[in-house]
């Protein structure tokens, strides 16, 4: 089983739609989770951090279900500018201590059309 | 500096040559990561550093790949005897702190696009 798995998409949605991405992770000891956004031929940029059960920032809501080892990202009222690849990221604790192995999912591609 | 800086931004090299990629992390960030991204693919973990040591080198694809970090700051990724399959964007990221999971957001440089011809 991959350490972080995402539905690759693509998700093609009209402006104004609500879209949800799912992500599962295999290491039950993971403590921190992130969603990154990556535009074509650009570096990934942090969208949201998820430390407890969830986090909301404007149109974006991230939720964490530790029992099911599942993270989701909900985007409401989609804009054309939301078109990008969304990467689920899980921080894997290391045996030597610390939390510094960030594992990225393969990403889910979103295309918002007029 | 203000952000993570990588150099060169683009590198074209002949098959069989060695290349060295450089990463300057955000000042004060203890953790530094290297990833590789082939065209249309996800990010592949290569290696990470805590300070100058690399607790996990499991992602390095072969013994042609090596990385070091000096002074807890600059890191270099070296690829010896490059092959065409090494062509990819090599991304470096840094994060602030390893002691708490709440300080591990990673910030990326713009990457080095490596083309082996």
* Residue A28: band (very low, low, confident or very high) from pLDDT cuts 50, 70, 90: confident
Instruction: Write out chain B residues lying below 8 Å of A96, CB-based.
Output: 50, 55
Q: Tell me A93's DSSP state.
A: P
pLDDT digits (tens, 9 = 90+) for A38-80: 999 899 999 998 877 788 999 999 999 999 999 999 999 999 9
The stretch A86-94 carries a mean pLDDT of: 86
Percentage of residues in chain B having pLDDT higher than 70: 93
Residue B11 pLDDT exceeds 90: yes
Name the more confident of B99 and B58: B58
Percentage of residues in chain B having pLDDT higher than 90: 67
Check if B85 contacts A (Cβ < 8 Å): no
The beta-carbon neighbor of A99 closest among B33, B93, B104 is B104
Least CA distance to A96: which residue of chain B?
A: B55
Cis bond upstream, residue B8 (ω within 30): yes
Residue B98 pLDDT exceeds 70: no
Kindly report which listed range (A7-16, A77-86, B15-24) carries the lowest average pLDDT score: A7-16
Tokens of A32: 């921190």
**Alpha carbon distances (Å) from A26 to A18, A103, B31, B85, B110:** 27, 11, 23, 29, 29
Which of 12-51 (A) contact B at CB < 8 A? Answer: 31-32, 34, 42-46, 49, 51
Residue B10 pLDDT exceeds 70: yes
Instruction: Write out chain B residues lying below 8 Å of A43, CB-based.
Output: 91, 108-111
């Amino acid at each position: 089983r991959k350490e972080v798995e995402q539905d690759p998409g693509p998700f093609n949605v009209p402006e104004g739609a609500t879209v949800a991405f799912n992500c599962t992770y295999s290491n039950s000891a993971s403590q921190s989770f992130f969603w990154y956004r990556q535009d074509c031929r650009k570096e990934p940029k942090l969208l949201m951090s998820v430390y407890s059960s969830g986090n909301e920032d404007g149109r974006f809501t991230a939720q964490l279900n530790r029992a099911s080892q599942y993270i989701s990202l909900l985007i409401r009222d989609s804009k054309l500018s939301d078109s990008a690849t969304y990467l689920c990221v899980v921080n894997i604790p290391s045996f030597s201590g610390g939390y510094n192995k960030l594992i990225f999912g393969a990403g889910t591609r979103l295309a918002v059309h007029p | 500096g203000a952000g993570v800086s990588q150099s060169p931004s683009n590198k074209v090299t002949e098959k069989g040559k060695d290349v060295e990629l450089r990463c300057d992390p955000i000042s004060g960030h203890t953790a530094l990561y290297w990833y590789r991204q082939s065209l249309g693919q996800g990010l592949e973990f290569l290696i990470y550093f805590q300070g100058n040591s690399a607790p996990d080198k499991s992602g390095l694809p072969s013994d042609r790949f090596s990385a070091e970090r000096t002074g807890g700051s600059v890191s270099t990724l070296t690829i010896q005897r490059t092959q065409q399959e090494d062509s990819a964007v090599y991304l470096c990221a840094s994060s602030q702190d390893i002691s708490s999971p709440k300080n591990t957001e990673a910030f990326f440089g713009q990457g080095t696009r490596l083309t082996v011809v």
